[in-house]
Amino acid sequence: MWKVRRKWQHMGAFSIGREVKEAVHAVTPEAMDAWPGGWPQSAGEFERLADVYLERLVIYASRRLGSVHDAEDAVQDVFVRAFMIRRKCEGISQVGAYLYRMTSNACTDVLRKRKGRKALLSLMEADGESAPSSQSSPSEALRVAEEASRAEQLLQHLPQAQAEAIRLRVFGELDLNEIAEVTECSTNTVNSRLRYGFRKLRRIVAKEWKS
């Protein structure tokens, strides 16, 4: 269920090897216009839309939620909701951007629901039940959940817009143009949000590390 990959960490060493670049290109979503048509209207069109976006949205959601099980449920709900509102959205062309926004909202809802509950425990149980795979173990699922929770706690220090830009960049692996489309602002604004957000996070981490 889980495989080791930590793409952004490679760059921290300031030495980018060829295989890292290739790996990045292999999984980085194409431009947001990977779905050139308007809002799909039939189940068949949604099937093709799923081919384009399903996996990348689940990856984005699972990094935010720390649970593939919850991420798949959330993205499934997003697709069903996108289908249900298809007539209302007929004139919308930026389907990918909307899907990312809907997934982001769905993740926020899941995280909100978890508040006040013993989230990590339930996550561990949920993943253990749903995917007893040879590669996953409760302790691994717990670790993933803890990491996601820690990342989310860190991002809570930032204004919403900066946090969202960083989530889309790191968890969603979107480029600046794509983030601009999802968050409906200019690429310059995205760039500023990433710079200032990351600078603030670095300071928080450095301070905590020091103490």
Partner 1 sequence: MNCRQVQECLDDLLSAGPGHAVEPNVTEHLAHCARCQREHEAAIRTLALLQPSVEAETSTNLKERVMKAIEAAEYEESHKPERIWFGAKVWKPMFVAGLAAVFALVVAASILFKPSDRVYAIEQTIEANRSLRSIHMKMTPEKFGSVDEVWAQFDENGELENLRMNFPDTEDGPKDVVWENGKAEVWFKAKGSAVVVKEPRLLERMKMSYGDFDPKRIVEGLYRSRADKRVRVDVVEPQTRDGEITLTVTVDAAPNRQDVYTVSPETKLLERHEVYRLRDGNYELDGSTEYLEYNEPIDPVVFTLEAPADAMRIDQTVQEIGIAQGDLSDKEIAVKVVREFFEALIAKDYAKAGQLLEGMPANKVEEFLGGWLNVVRIVSIGEPTPYAPNESLRVPCKVEVESDGKTSIMEPHGPFVRQVYQQPGRWDICGGI
Per CB under 8 A, does 124 bind partner 1? no
Contact 167, 201 (CB under 8 A): no
Q: Are 58 and 71 in contact (CB under 8 A)?
A: yes
By CB under 8 A, which span of 29-37, 114-122, 144-152 interacts with partner 1? 144-152
Residues within window 5-34 making contact with partner 1, judged by CB under 8 A: 5-16, 20-21, 24-25
What span, in angstroms and rounded, lies between the C-alpha atoms of 187 and 68?
30
Residues 67 to 106 in contact with partner 1, rule: CB under 8 A: 68, 71-72, 75-76, 79-80, 83-85, 88-89, 91-92
- Distance, CA of 41 to CA of 39 (rounded, Å): 6
Q: How many residues bind partner 1 (CB under 8 A)?
A: 83
Q: Tell me the residue type at 148.
A: A
Minimal distance, residue 79 CB to partner 1, in Å: 5
* Contact pattern for partner 1 over residues 180 through 209, marking x by CB under 8 A: ----xx---xxx--xx-xxx-xxx-xx--x
Q: What is the DSSP letter of 191?
A: H
